Chain A
Amino acid sequence: MEVTKVENVTRVYKIGKVETNALRGVSLSIQSGEFTALVGPSGSGKTTLLQLIGCLDQPTSGQVYINSQEVSKLSRNQRADVRRGTIGFIFQFFALIPTLSAYENIEMPLLLNGHSASERRARITELLAAVNLSDRANHRPDQLSGGEQQRVAIARALATKPSLILADEPTANLDTENGKQIMDTMTRLNQETGITFVFATHDPRVIHYARRVVTLQDGRVVDNSLHDMGGSDPDL
């Protein structure tokens, strides 16, 4: 089943009178349960493509589909609704709310989705265990290491059981050991839950985790190939 599809998408940024073509007619289809990497050098359009798939931005032309629903023309609030129910995000900069504890950060999307207190409690307990942070529930982000913060972000992304998780350079701010842990966690959760993961990276040590690698260059897909190598790399 197709989770997301982009068709001939372009994205042009206009800064003053200068136009920059971040994406130049990208088409891509991602099936349910995939663990896909978007790779390419800086400026190749990876983050832009993730933002369009994640309904954070709208294409200049072309169509974006999430679960067969065309989302590229939706209003700001309609896109927020799509994100809330369907998409989880993991960012390079961890992106936790500093005034909320790990527990409360994970709770936020559940609150927005209207889950009851008991449902929230059960789900958060389950997620904290899944990312091995049960003993850090009441810690605030500044009391957690970078790796722990990113695991909280993963738990938050999973909270509402989305059909798609988008991760933008999830290991870029982590050391090797923590980066490995994050990729292992994401891989395991993909296998255990069947949730689709798409992550952007230009870190060669991470790419081999992907079962499919989409390579972008100058805003175009230049390679789209399946890898037969899930799991961790002992040399990471």
Chain B
Amino acid sequence: MIQLFRMAFRDLGRNRRRTFFSILALAMGLALLILMASFINGEMSSAMDTTIKLQSGHLQLRQQNYDETKASLKWENLIEDPAQVTRQIATLEPVIAASARLFASGIVASRDQSTGVQIVGIEPDSITNNPYREGLVSGEFLTAGDRDGILIGRPLSEKMGLQVGDQINLTANTSNGDVSDQLFTIRGIYSTETRVFDSAIVFLPLEKAQAMTGTENHASTIFVLLKDKDQTDAVVNALQTSRYKILTWTKMNEVIIQTENLSNAYMSLFYLIVLGVTATVIINTLIMAVFERTREIGIFSAIGMRSRRIMAMFLAESSLLAIGGILLGLVLGALAVAYLERNGFYIGNMAVGGGGFLIRDTVYAKFSLEGTINVTIMAFIVTMLAGLYPAALAARMEPVEALRAEK
């Protein structure tokens, strides 16, 4: 066995340039796949984290008949006395924080411009709002007693040419089907680096939002954050309420999970394409080696080497190519992933948030150990399979024909 690999190593060294480029082809393919796996991993886990943090939380409680798509403000669709409900939930050990939120549709107007927005009434002091508070790019955050302050996102401020201190007119639906409008002063401008969210959401203090929409002491949802999302089911069991509908982060973010599954399926296809191209390079290299060494194959056969051993000689070469390509590919892949983990990949306006999930403007790779192991094993198997045909070609040669070949 040692002799087999020693010979394979020397044979690969006969045409170092060709061997190097074959190894490089495999390495580039593998590095690309590792990078893609880590990129998708980063994108999907970031999308889930961002969506949980900004939009869904780990749990939400809603009135049984609340229809999220209509952002209903009818009292019978809302949670009454939300403060009492949040206090009860907050007593549970796995809960970090729970806070009431009210959703309403509205229109922001300034000078001759207007745009549709979603108004979110929040309890400004709750730590569930930290992502918005930490994302302040100018001005200050809302306070609970603020009667005319509003928080808007940076893309909206840029689109409408607004700054902190400017006044805007906000029109909102009310619980009785009317509309109300009021002038608000921009207290702060925030950025969560999630364009689709920041351009559509404006924040008001909960009490002000309730007053404006005629929903006194009511909320659309109770937004709950947990210490560990794996405790979700335990909290759901502990709540044991039939009065409210409990939505978990998995239920609310099904589309992310489906998208991840779809991405994984596409990645499998992508693996096959990249590794298929790489396999073609390996096959080509080994076939050339077989034809160049036809006479040597005849000599080995003449001194009594069996077909299986001739085959093993060429498979040893493909395994060395695989090992070389994989080692180099792991290094190149790790460097590329490390770069994108640190610097990210700016997708800017390409960031979408359809179907209720949010992708940040910059996607950061997240090293995927599982993905890396999978593609490494696949690369090795594909290279060995690629070596099978040339090896079989060599093994099937008739010694008398092989000996007759030109050197």
Q: Contact residues of A with B, CB < 8 Å?
A: 51, 54, 56-57, 76-77, 80-81, 83-85, 88-89, 91, 93, 95-100, 108-109, 111-113, 156
Contacts and interface: CB of A to CB of B under 8 A. Distances in A.
A76 B303 contact: no
B3 interface: yes
Contacts of B403: 56, 91, 95
B303 A83 contact: yes
B7 A99 contact: yes
A106 B180 CA distance: 99
A80 B400 contact: no
Interface stretch (B75-83, B234-242, B304-312, B377-385): B304-312
10 contacts: A51-B400, A81-B306, A83-B303, A84-B305, A88-B303, A91-B299, A97-B7, A99-B7, A108-B300, A109-B304
Contact of A77 (B11, B296, B307, B407): B307
B308 to A, nearest CB: 8
Contact of B14 (A57, A84, A99, A100): A99
| Interface range for B | 20 to 34
Contacts of A113: 304
Nearest to A112: B304
Interface string B1-25: 0010001001101100000000000
A99 B303 contact: no
Contacts of B398: 57, 76
B3 A111 contact: yes
Contacts of A112: 303-305, 309
Interface string B144-174: 0000000000000000000000000000000
A89 B302 contact: yes
Nearest to B309: A112
State the majority secondary structure of interface residues on B.
helix
A182 to B, nearest CB: 18
Nearest to B308: A77
B371 interface: no
A95 B407 CA distance: 10
B292 to A, nearest CB: 11
A113 B309 CA distance: 13
Contacts of B13: 99
Contact of B306 (A80, A98, A100, A156): A80
Nearest to A153: B299
Given A56-B400, A99-B10, A112-B304, 20 more contacts: A54-B302, A56-B301, A57-B399, A80-B301, A80-B305, A83-B304, A84-B304, A91-B302, A91-B403, A95-B295, A95-B403, A96-B299, A97-B296, A97-B299, A99-B11, A99-B13, A108-B300, A112-B303, A112-B309, A113-B304
A51 B401 CA distance: 11
Nearest to B399: A56
A122 B301 CA distance: 25
Instruction: Give 3 closest A-B pairs by Cβ, nearest first.
Output: A84-B304, A99-B10, A57-B400
A81 B302 CA distance: 10
B11, B305, B308 — most chain A CB neighbours (10 Å)? B305
Contacts of A108: 300, 303
A51 B287 CA distance: 27
A88 B300 CA distance: 12
Contacts of A91: 299, 302, 403
A81 to B, nearest CB: 7
A230 to B, nearest CB: 27
Contacts of A111: 3
Contact of A56 (B302, B306, B308, B309): B302
B7 A100 contact: yes
Nearest to A76: B307
A107 to B, nearest CB: 8
B401 to A, nearest CB: 9
Most chain B Cβ neighbours within 10 Å, of A54, A77, A85, A113: A77
B7 to A, nearest CB: 7
B11 A85 contact: no
B303 A156 contact: yes
